[in-house]
Amino acid sequence: MNTAKRLEGIGEYYFSKKLREIEELNREGKDVISLGIGSPDHPPHPDVIRVLQEESIKSGNHAYQGYKGSPVLRDAMAGWYKQWYGVNLNPDKEILPLAGSKEGIMHICMTYINPGDIVLIPNPGYPTYQSAAKIAGANLISYELKEENNWFPDFNELKNMIRTKQPGQESVLMFVNYPHMPTGQLPDKDLFKQLIAFAKENQVLIVHDNPYSFILNEHPMSILQTEGFDDHVIELNSLSKSHNMAGWRVGMMVARSRHIENVLRFKSNMDSGMFLPVQLAAARALSLPASWYEQVSKLYRKRKLLVENMLEGLDCQFSKEQAGLFVWARVPPQMSDGYTLSDLLLYKANVFVTPGGIFGTAGKSYVRVSLCATEQKITECFERIKQAGFIKPKQHV
């Protein structure tokens, strides 16, 4: 039996293949250190783990759960948005817990996209936007983000991209993501205002993916802080990065009630709810004080300095004002692209960094280095790269 046509052009996720290759190299004794994946390597807060343990013991907590999630979790999500973003949400109508925000990307695509509808995909950007939209049958249009424009969209270019659309024809959905992955670019209020204005003027549904707003960022922002977002915006958020809960798969979709109801029609046919103890533990995580986020950022800030030193030694160029779990850097002029540098480091120094080209053609000349490794491992990477001859000793004058 042949696979469905919707999978044509959809390859295996890059990291799925690359991690298998790294496993094979390790079996050969290479001991590769990976600075590729953005998976936090520290555990959640002890109170979060304690709640999971205590609730898991209770005999009544193992049944199917409601499709809209526990009221306790939705209330906690509403409180979190109010405390940190200043956004008021109705926990019963404007919040939908998810098994991670990646799930939400697919749910939104399957809910709103008909074959031929236009989906605007950031380049560079998270590869799942493209694959989920393609599976849903979208007409994909890539919009390029450029370093000289602070990795913000060019709104005149966006208007030209959809100028042929007539009223009553294809719908338009646009993925955006700030703080941006992979570049680490922070948003500002003006950017969000321009996005809302563009959405209103052109009848576009904006899907803002917002999992990095607390990492190396003292002023978390939500696009829902912007006046007039109304029916034009859906925001996705997640506990994976901000609370060290990547494997727990807890995220959320926040939007006006119409969008929640529409997506629930699809989602309720795909799953049977989230394990209640996980939901209750997640609710505890969302009540953590500011000191938790300060502690997390302090850890990444130390690692970031080490990664920046390593990249400077490799003659890469980068901004020091990046947020999130990575450092995005332009490869040296003598390198043809990020794939070249990535492969050289992997096969000559047993260090893996992500080539920027996997995030789109606009990322071809870059690499992305994860901060999800201990200071000891990052220091070891630096030493391996030196020993492989990629970093020349500094000359004393």
Domains assigned to the chain: 5-43+290-387 (3.90.1150.10), 60-285 (3.40.640.10)
Radius of gyration of the chain (CA): 22
pLDDT, position 162:
85
Confidence grade of residue 392 (pLDDT, cut at 50, 70, 90): low
Using CB atoms within 10 A of its CB, is residue 168 exposed (0-12), middle (13-18) or buried (19+)? exposed
Given a contact cutoff of 8 angstroms between Cβ atoms, the answer to whether 368 and 184 are in contact is: no
* Cα–Cα nearest to 216, from 31, 5, 9, 40: 40
Q: How far is 234 from 138, CA to CA, in rounded Å?
A: 18
How far is the C-alpha of 20 from the C-alpha of 121, rounded, in Å?
A: 28
Length of the chain: 397
- pLDDT per residue as tens digits for the range 333-349: 999 999 999 999 999 99
Residue whose structure tokens are 């070891």: 380
Alpha carbons within 13 angstroms on the beta-carbon side of residue 264 total: 20
% of the chain exceeding 70 in pLDDT: 96
Query: Could you tell me which of 193, 242, 307 has the C-alpha nearest to residue 40?
Result: 242
Mean pLDDT of the chain: 93
Contacts of 56 (CB under 8 A, 6+ apart): 277
Token digits of residue 182:
């992979």
More confident residue, 245 or 38: 245
* pLDDT tens-digit map of 170-216: 689 999 999 999 999 999 999 999 999 999 999 999 999 999 999 99
pLDDT reading at 92 higher than 70: yes
pLDDT band (50, 70, 90) for residue 314? very high
Contacts of 84 (CB under 8 A, 6+ apart): 214, 220
pLDDT single digits (tens) 113-166: 999 899 999 999 999 999 999 999 999 999 999 999 999 999 999 998 887 665
**pLDDT of residue 313 exceeding 70:** yes
> For residue 325, how many other CB atoms are within 10 A of its CB?
27
Q: Is 395 a residue whose pLDDT tops 50?
A: no
Is residue 234 within 8 Å of residue 111, measured between CB atoms? no
Q: Using alpha carbons, select from 244, 197, 257 the residue that is nearest to residue 223.
A: 197
Q: How far apart are CA 40 and CA 300, in angstroms?
A: 10
**pLDDT tens digits, one per residue of 6-62:** 877 776 767 778 788 888 888 898 999 999 988 999 999 999 999 999 999 999 999
**Residue burial 334-352, b: 16+ Cβ < 10 Å; e: rest:** ebebbbebbebbbeebbbb
| Distance between CA atoms of residues 331 and 357, nearest Å | 12
